[in-house]
Structure 1
Amino acid sequence: MIIVTRRTALLGIPAALIGLSACSSEPPMDEAEVNRRVSQVEGVTSVDIVVESSGVTSWSLSGTIGLPDDDAQARAVYEDCLRAIASVPTLSDVPMGVYVYGESASGQLDPAAVGAPDRTTRLKEHFS
């Protein structure tokens, strides 16, 4: 009797995982909308951001944003780009990692360089 119960429980696990992965296959943010909003920030010279899946429920934004050569301008524009990312509606509450780097002649910036968090849910709170 116990063996039947174990088999039943084990057989139920794959079905549950299949259902979970089917629900989580849609990205929490629209990639085209992220790129559109960031490209509209004044001072941006290029945008290449992708929404990536790294598992059943793990998502991230990764890529680069071209910034002005002046360091102070680059920081200000990059912060505005992170604000633009935070303004993109999300389709779920799944937090996404933000691995989007600003690049200019003065160097590379990440969210920590401008005092911003590196997760979308915290980024939205930070700019609200």
Structure 2
Amino acid sequence: MSAQWTDPQQGYGNGPAGGYGPPPGGPADAAWGQGHPQTPYGAPSYPPGYPWPYPGPGTAGEPPSTGGLIGAMVVAVITMLICQGTNVIGVIMVALALGKRTTSPDEARKFTKYAWISNGIHLGLILIGAAFFASAIATDT
């Protein structure tokens, strides 16, 4: 063979291992772990335990927590009972959020936010009504 071409048995660089060093992160059968995790080409490598900064294309975000939805439902039902049924909007919004929690997390977050806005308005109305009655009782002569 000419000097221009390398021997296919030797590989590029004419070294015994084909000119390539060991893979980064050590061998996969290391005694203390499974080696370096593979990331997609061009993607930054993040340490374990840290989430990716954003979901990839075509993936949905993390569903909203059930605790926040249940809290909104409890507040909506209590304010609906106190305000004579006017907070039915909050109850409907929480029910929609619970229904879309796993299928459409972004819409579930939107409905949860609307339910908490409705709950806040009704809690404000309850506080104004309580202040009105307290002032009426205090000024009663």
TM-score, normalised to structure 1, is 0.28
TM-score, normalised to structure 2, is 0.26
| Bigger strand fraction | 1
* Rg comparison, structure with higher value: 2
Higher RCO by CA contacts (8 Å cutoff, separation 6 or greater):
1
